[in-house]
Amino acid sequence: MAKIKQICEEKLKSVVEEMGYELVDVDYVKEGSGMSLIFTIDKDGGVNVDDCELVSKQLDPILDEINPTEDKPYTLVVSSPGLDRPLKTDRDLKRNLGEEVEVTLFAKLDGKKKFVGVLESFDEKNITLKMEKESKTFEREKIGSIKLVIKF
């Protein structure tokens, strides 16, 4: 399954980017009685149903040609990441500098796994949050997820 994801990312990322979108993620997962190949896309200002349809129509014939599932049937799904999606890429982080985020660690640090603060900075190894009393830096390899804090 990881191989299918890798093939799709390698072969189709540039196609999605040439259309003006960011390929956020590719998943090949069991849904119901079948498999789904899910492409999650984004763009500045967000993604709507028309965007998803446009990308789906572009990817479908290419997927038929590269045959990443080796003739196993699947449903192609193109979707937006949603407001509560994890921030995974440097592009995600850059777009959300200055925003309040929740960092969840794989293991406890100072007795807890979740930290909330303003995303202050990042580099290839670390993420820094400005919290109430101090700034705190986390090693990226120890972070399970980073999500925007959504307030209504």
Average pLDDT over all residues of the chain? 93
Q: What is the pLDDT of residue 8?
A: 95
What domain range includes position 6? 2-79
Block residue for tokens 């390929």: 23
* Spatial separation of the C-alpha atoms in residues 66 and 8, rounded to whole Å: 9
- pLDDT band at 69, cuts 50/70/90? very high
* Spatial separation of the C-alpha atoms in residues 146 and 104, rounded to whole Å: 6
Q: What is the pLDDT of residue 44?
A: 82
Among 18, 52, 79, residue at a domain's last position: 79
Mean pLDDT for the stretch of residues 73-97: 88
Among 79, 108, 137, residue at a domain's last position: 79
Q: How many domains in the chain?
A: 2
Q: How confident is the model over 88-140, as pLDDT tens digits?
A: 888 889 989 999 999 999 999 999 999 999 999 999 999 999 999 999 999 99
Residues 6 or more apart in contact with residue 29 via CB below 8 angstroms: 1, 35, 36, 38
Token pair of 55, please?
């990308």
Closest CA to 11 of 70, 59, 81: 59
- Considering only 5-14, 44-53, 123-132, which range has the smallest mean pLDDT? 44-53
Residues 73 and 8 in one domain: yes
Residues 16 and 42 in one domain: yes
Query: Is the pTM of the predicted complex or chain greater than 0.75?
Result: no
* Spatial separation of the C-alpha atoms in residues 77 and 38, rounded to whole Å: 5
Among 32, 53, 79, residue at a domain's last position: 79
Mean pLDDT for the stretch of residues 12-27: 94
Whether 85 maps to a domain, the answer reads no
